[in-house]
Amino acid sequence: MKKDIAKILLTREEIGEKVKDLANQIKGAYEGKNPLILCILKGSLIFTADLVRELDFPCTIDFMQVSSYGAGAETTGELRIKKDMDTDIRGRSVIIVEDILDSGITLSNLIPELESRGAESVAVCVLLNKPERRRVEVKPNFVGFDIENEFAVGYGLDYNEKYRNLPYVGVLKREIYEK
């Protein structure tokens, strides 16, 4: 896998420090509220696993896998729920955990869905933010790193389902995704 990486964007250590920092910010805002940490599969698996181990107060964890169908140049499409959580979120403080915020389409469709289910609040924690790529305004509450518009893989992020298990975030060589 390593030979396919053009450069390391974020080392394991840099990510680890940032995850602790994000956990502290979340603690400040959510301790005592028993928030639901909602991991959006598959990319957020590793980030969520690391983040929750830094949260030293009660919270619960659940999972969803979503995409947006019908999203095109002019439209943001509709939310497609591939796997749903089983938590009843009425009255709960929900924190969506995402590996990357890109066009914003996924979150712009997911947030209203969770609000319509009766969540008391819905916040967003993203590890990587690509502001340049935004098509729909989404304001994440907790952000790890703003990154350039490069093909990032590793630490949960994939290309064709590969590279998720790299322990760092790297930039994929152009020849890999252009061949």
Select which of 4, 102, 146, 158 is catalytic.
102
Query: Can residue 50 be called a binding residue for ligand PRP (CB under 6 A)?
Result: no
Closest residue to bound ligand PRP by CB: 43
Query: Can residue 76 be called a binding residue for ligand PRP (CB under 6 A)?
Result: no
Closest to ligand PRP by CB, 34 or 136: 136
Closest to ligand PRP by CB, 31 or 158: 158
Query: Can residue 64 be called a binding residue for ligand PRP (CB under 6 A)?
Result: no
Q: From CA 79, how far away is CA 96, in angstroms rounded?
A: 15
Q: Is 146 a catalytic residue?
A: no
CA distances from 174 to 13, 16, 62, 93, 103 (A): 25, 27, 35, 41, 21
102-131 residues in contact with ligand PRP (CB under 6 A) are: 102-106
Query: Can residue 149 be called a binding residue for ligand PRP (CB under 6 A)?
Result: no
Contact between residue 106 and residue 88 where contact means Cβ atoms under 8 Å apart: no
Query: Can residue 23 be called a binding residue for ligand PRP (CB under 6 A)?
Result: no
Q: From CA 73, how far away is CA 14, in angstroms rounded?
A: 35
* Of the residues 67, 75, 149, 165, which one makes contact with ligand PRP according to CB under 6 A: 67
CA distances from 160 to 3, 83, 98, 163 (A): 16, 19, 18, 9
Binders of ligand PRP: how many residues, by CB under 6 A?
15
Query: Can residue 37 be called a binding residue for ligand PRP (CB under 6 A)?
Result: no
Residues that bind ligand PRP (CB under 6 A): 40-43, 67, 98-106, 158
> Which residues does the annotation mark as catalytic?
102
